[in-house]
Chains A and B, each alone.
Chain A
């Protein structure tokens, strides 16, 4: 079955360390997204990519970086510059405009 795989499910890091969250999809979707969700809040867009080798900043891109070297993969790096990195991170993809977003199961990052 096609889907989006995020790994790991839980991630623990010390403050000051960069960490990369994996997102892989086999849905053949062009567009992919990274969202951040804090407890009791909605989704906020970090970065999105509509096509390979191209990506745009979302509302809260500061302290994050991405790459899109392959259609299937859209990894997110949380850098030490991100002031409050502890959150639930969700990767998603979409087939086309007004199509449903397909989400991975998320990565819960805790930085201490």
Chain B
């Protein structure tokens, strides 16, 4: 079957760097996206990797290695407001359907 696996919870300290991993098993591959969701809120898009390598957007970066079926989200200079759940997602095929990881809850300590 098709699936995306990510850790259920990660803890880090304010000001530090944290990496959230996502490994995938899909019949085809059409890229990897990352979304952030605060408690009670809606997911918001963070980044997308269609090709191998690093995409940087401010304090957040996302990396993809298609040969390893693996990607990660890197958050730098952590702030308390970064406490949220982070989801990786990937299109199932060439249509508009996404499959989602179960989410990683990021806990930031002062």
Which A residues are closer than 8 A to B by beta carbons?
Answer: 31, 33, 40-45, 48, 50, 58, 90, 94, 97-98, 100-106
Contacts and interface: CB of A to CB of B under 8 A. Distances in A.
A97 B94 contact: yes
B63 interface: no
B43 A90 contact: yes
B33 A31 contact: no
A100 B95 contact: no
User: Closest 8 interchain pairs by CB?
Assistant: A100-B45, A103-B42, A42-B102, A42-B100, A31-B96, A43-B100, A42-B103, A105-B42
B48 interface: yes
Contact-residue bracket for chain B: 20 to 34
Interface of A is mostly: strand
Contacts of A42: 87, 100-103
A105 B41 contact: yes
Contacts of A50: 95-96
Contacts of B35: 101
Interface in B35-79: 35, 41-45, 48, 50
Given A98-B30, A98-B31, A43 B97 contact: no
A103 B96 contact: no
A97 B43 contact: no
A31 B98 CA distance: 12
Nearest to B45: A100
B96 A94 contact: yes
B30 A104 contact: no
A90 B31 contact: no
Contacts of B41: 105-106
Contact of A43 (B31, B43, B44, B45): B43
B97 A48 contact: yes
A33 B95 CA distance: 13
Interface string B88-109: 0101001111101111010000
A40 B102 CA distance: 8
